[in-house]
Chain A
Amino acid sequence: DGGITQSPKYLFRKEGQNVTLSCEQNLNHDAMYWYRQDPGQGLRLIYYSQIVNDFQKGDIAEGYSVSREKKESFPLTVTSAQKNPTAFYLCASLWEGDRDGQPQHFGDGTRLSIL
């Protein structure tokens, strides 16, 4: 089945540590996105990438970094500079080529907590 796979489902970070969240899609989608969801909050865009080797900052990029070396993969690194990283992180993708297609499809998220 085609879809978006996020791993791990749960992740714990120690103070001062960088951690990387994985997002893989086999939908052949061009664009990929990372969102952060806090309790009682809407989704906030961290980074997005419309094409391999290119990405743009979203609304809350500080303390995060991404790479897009392959079309299928868009990992997110939460750096030690992100002082409040505890949240539910969601990855999404979009096929630019389908003009009648749906908007972004989402993975099932990674919950990051601080030890």
Chain B
Amino acid sequence: DIQMTQSPSSLSASVGDRVTITCQASQDISNYLNWYQQKPGKAPRLLIYDASNLKTGVPSRFSGSGSGTDFTFTVSSLQPEDIATYYCQQFNNLPYTFGQGTKLEIK
């Protein structure tokens, strides 16, 4: 299985801050990477697919980049409603695997 490693595991930031999360794959996955947001007690929600494509309806303050083994997810200006856990997920190989998650909190 491809291992996905996210860092940091948790992050505390202020409203308006720029926030960055990284995701590293254990092997080259090209751009076959998605990012999801999960709020407490809710199912995950797709935000970004193919490493950098914003899903329709997702605010433009969310963005993603990277290819190969190293990927970045950015929130350009943190809003209170962005408090959640964020997961990367590869779809290069089955089984599709997720990172362990990054919990984002407001300072």
Whether chain B is bound by chain A comes out as: no
Q: Which residues of B contact A (CB under 8 A)?
A: none
